[in-house]
Amino acid sequence: VLYGAVDQTRWAEGFPACGGQKQSPIDIQRQNVRHNPDLLEPVLTGYAAQKGNFVMNNNGYTVLINLPPSMVITRGLPGQYTAIQMHLHWGGMQMESSGAEHTLDGIRYIAELHLVHYNSDKYSSFQEAKDKPDGLAVLAFFFVNGHFENTYYRDFINNLAKVKYAGQSMNISSLDLRSMLPENLNHFFRYQGSLTVPPCYESVLWTVFDTPITLSHNQIKKLETTLMNNNTMWDYYRMVQPLNDRVVESSFVPRLRKGSMYRKPAQARWDFHSVFGIQNLQVTKSKEKKIELVWCHIKRLLCKT
């Protein structure tokens, strides 16, 4: 699997489903989602701290942890779904580069966690379920940069060095997956999509949570720079795919922090208007013109000092 933008456009040549109409990831536009008050918060059974033998593996594209069948989503989805594995997608190739797969209002987060499950009410295994329209469910969580270490990710981040090279694996004796997730699982987006790697089967019911997970800057740096295949494993994420005729539902009504309804980006103003005294620069101007006007104004300020 090659992740370059050009390489991704050729996936469908070897895997026809990658050219389908219900592909993932997508850009979730909050002003276009349909609020569905009947969507229930997923109930995660068996995700609390437990002892066991959990295999952590560098497969050359990501770091993956096999999850036990005791981890089950028992409510909130059309049936019972059993966990199979968790993995991450991240960026890091360029300074401040982000590598989440889904985007929110065109913004790409630093990284994204996927918890993969199969429909155990209808199918006996992941292998049987993976290409069925109702076969899989993935819970997706965004990561953001924070000031303090996330202690629930300390062991996970430190263990990356033990699976540094593609093909390496190790056993983890304990796992507290529920503590690694946000406390609030009430706010999420839901849509029908696909696997984000070939063979891209359109078999996934996606649940993308609005509340992100916070990691410290040092934790994110380790995530982005520790793992290797032939080179450092950077930017292993798929570009967003067309929504086509699908509808994205939400369990909540997206709002801004101050409680007002979400507004389209074109109606917003740059935060540094008041700082630089630029009062008439609207977002509707072209990006090039905005940069030119701001830069000219900054130069005038510097010349005065």
* pLDDT single digits (tens) 14-39: 999 999 999 999 999 999 999 999 99
Cis amide leading into 25 (omega within 30): yes
Res. 256: pLDDT tops 80: no
Range name among 95-109, 166-180, 193-207 with the lowest pLDDT average: 95-109
* pLDDT single digits (tens) 124-183: 999 999 999 999 999 999 999 999 999 999 999 999 999 999 899 999 999 999 999 999
User: Which residue has tokens 């078999």?
Assistant: 203
> Is the four-CA dihedral 233, 229, 207, 192 of positive or negative sign?
positive
Provide the pLDDT confidence category of residue 281 given band limits of 50, 70 and 90.
Answer: very low
* pLDDT single digits (tens) 230-252: 676 767 889 999 999 999 999 99
* pLDDT single digits (tens) 50-101: 999 999 999 988 999 999 999 999 999 999 999 999 999 988 655 456 899 9
- Residues 6 or more apart in contact with residue 242 via CB below 8 angstroms: 21, 23, 26
Distance of CA 145 to the CA centre of its chain: 14
> Which ranges of 122-272 does DSSP label H, i.e. alpha helix?
126-129, 154-159, 217-225
Residue 299, both tokens? 């130069």
Res. 263: pLDDT tops 60: no
In whole angstroms, what is the distance from residue 74 CA to residue 67 CA? 16
Provide the pLDDT confidence category of residue 2 given band limits of 50, 70 and 90.
Answer: low
What per-residue confidence (pLDDT) applies to 202?
A: 98
> Which ranges of the chain does DSSP label H, i.e. alpha helix?
5-8, 11-14, 126-129, 154-159, 217-225, 273-276, 287-304
> Is the four-CA dihedral 118, 213, 90, 242 of positive or negative sign?
positive
In whole angstroms, what is the distance from residue 163 CA to residue 169 CA? 5
> Where do the domains of the chain lie, and which CATH numbers do they carry?
5-250 (3.10.200.10), 269-304 (no CATH)
What per-residue confidence (pLDDT) applies to 289?
A: 43
Res. 257: pLDDT tops 70: no
What per-residue confidence (pLDDT) applies to 229?
A: 67
**Mean pLDDT, range 258-278, rounded to an integer:** 32
Residue 64, both tokens? 């993956």
Residue 153, both tokens? 């990710």
- Give the residue among 112, 132, 118, 133 at the shortest CA–CA distance from 28: 112
User: What is the 8-class DSSP label of residue 158?
Assistant: H
